[in-house]
A and B are shown apart, each in its own frame.
Chain A
Amino acid sequence: KAGVTQTPRYLIKTRGQQVTLSCSPISGHRSVSWYQQTPGQGLQFLFEYFSETQRNKGNFPGRFSGRQFSNSRSEMNVSTLELGDSALYLCASSSGTNEKLFFGSGTQLSVL
């Protein structure tokens, strides 16, 4: 069974641009969560999607958004990038609520 796949692996953007990250969950998993990991703040929850609906949201500004498609694949978008958005963005999938989360390898975003 393939694991959680995130693309691209690395991204370099400049301030003010926007970026879209992609996540394909484990087959059969309907929940996809996104986390931001930085050296200073650690791992912080962004949002969770289940059956194409955002079910839970962390404390991030509206520049951070996401969506989930009918095949459970998810995308995360960050608009008007800031230097502080540089981070490893991790996607995790699970089979349902309060189930084990399986993480992808992440997308390393650098904002210059």
Chain B
Amino acid sequence: GEDVEQSLFLSVREGDSSVINCTYTDSSSTYLYWYKQEPGAGLQLLTYIFSNMDMKQDQRLTVLLNKKDKHLSLRIADTQTGDSAIYFCAESIVTNDMRFGAGTRLTVKP
């Protein structure tokens, strides 16, 4: 099984908030990341959080980290159709060998 787990699909209405969840297994993870991938494109770094932080906010994005439960979430406020994409959660420990989840496909309906 994968070390990083995410649900595969999420569908929301335009203007609503989206919450994408992720669990990871390595308590030694130092950085946790959220990447966005649109069709035919590479991965775009959205945001990241250090393992000693609980929360990070960046405009419409809010990342919450619960180290005890090894749970990471990404909240997108006022979701727009342009937010439709696949969102990957990733962890890294001490190297650039990052472990990715399978990705959550977010569909935003008008």
B46 to chain A, nearest CB (A): 11
CB distance from B58 to the nearest CB of A (A): 13
Check if B2 sits within 8 Å of A48, measured CB to CB. no
Number of interface residues of B (CB under 8 A): 25
Residues 78-98 of chain B, each 1 if its beta carbon lies under 8 Å from chain A, else 0? 000000000010001111111
Chain B CB within 8 A of A101 CB = yes
Residue numbers in A under 8 Å from B97 (CB-CB): 33, 45, 48, 56, 58
- B33 within 8 Å of A by Cβ? yes
CB distance from A89 to the nearest CB of B (A): 10
- A64 located at the interface, meaning its Cβ lies under 8 Å from any Cβ of chain B in the complex: no
Task: Provide the residues of chain A in CB contact with B98, threshold 8 Å.
Answer: 33, 45, 101
B57 cross-chain contacts in A, Cβ below 8 A:
none
Q: Which of A33, A42, A43, A100 has the most chain B CB within a 10 Å cutoff? A: A43
Chain B: interface secondary structure? loop
Q: Which B-chain residue is minimally distant from A49 (CB atoms)?
A: B96
Considering only CB atoms, which chain B residue lies closest to A106 in the complex?
B42
Q: Assess whether B45 is interfacial by the CB under 8 Å rule.
A: yes
Q: Is the CB of A31 within 8 A of B96?
A: yes
CB-defined contacts of A99 to chain B, threshold 8 Å: 96
On B, residues with C-beta under 8 Å from A are 2, 30-31, 33, 35, 40-45, 48, 88, 92-103
The 5 closest A-B pairs by CB, nearest first: A43-B100, A103-B43, A103-B42, A105-B42, A33-B96
The 17 listed contacts between A and B (C-beta, < 8 Å) are A33-B98, A42-B2, A42-B101, A42-B103, A48-B97, A56-B97, A58-B97, A92-B43, A97-B95, A97-B96, A98-B93, A99-B96, A100-B33, A100-B48, A103-B35, A105-B41, A106-B41
